[in-house]
Amino acid sequence: MRVTQDEEARVFREAWIAGVRAHFPGEPKPGYVAPWDDTPEWERRAAGAVFDQVRQFLGLSEGHAARLTREQKGRFVAICWTAQMYRHFENPKPGYVADWADLPDWQKETDADIFEAIEKTVL
C-alpha cells in the first residue's frame, strides 16, 4: 500500500529530525527539529519531492539501489535536496546547496538515514 504524498513528506521530515537528534554535535537549531506543523510549506514540498525521487530510484533499480553504501545513499539524498533548493530559492544560502564534500558529517549521516527510512517505507 502506497502512502499519501503528505505521509511521504512526513517520513522524510521525521527521518531528518531523528538523524539530527542522533548525529548533530550539541544542541541543534530549533528549525532543524521543528515539528511538522511548524515546517514551512516550501520545505514540506521539497521533502515530499525528495521522498518521491528516492522511491522512484528504488523502483527503477527494482530495489537494488538498497545495496548502495550508506555514503552513496546519503549523496543521492543530498543531490536531490540541492535540486529542490534551486527550485524553491532564486539564490539559496550556500549551506543549502553545498557539495557533499563540504557537508558536515552529521548531515551526511542524516541524509543516509533519510534514504534508509524511505527504503523501509517503500520496499
Q: How confident is the model at residue 56, as a pLDDT? A: 97
State the average pLDDT over residues 15-27. 98
**How many CB atoms neighbour CB 49 within 10 A?**
20
| Cβ atoms 48, 80 nearer than 8 A | no
pLDDT, one tens digit per residue, over 50-87 is: 999 999 999 999 999 999 999 999 999 999 999 999 99
| Residue listed under C-alpha cell 521530515 | 13
Asked whether the beta carbons of 11 and 115 are under 8 A apart, the reply is: no
**Burial annotation 10-20 (CB, 10 A radius, 16+ → b, else e):** bbbbebbbebb
Query: How far is 7 from 46, CA to CA, in rounded Å?
Result: 13
Whether the predicted pLDDT of 114 surpasses 80 = yes
**For 20-25, what is the mean pLDDT?**
98
Q: Do 47 and 13 meet the contact criterion of CB atoms below 8 Å apart?
A: yes
1: pLDDT strictly greater than 60: no
Q: What is the pLDDT of residue 3?
A: 75
Q: Looking at residues 7-35, what average pLDDT do you find? A: 97
CB atoms under 10 Å from CB of 106, counted, come to: 17
Mean pLDDT, rounded, for 39-56: 97
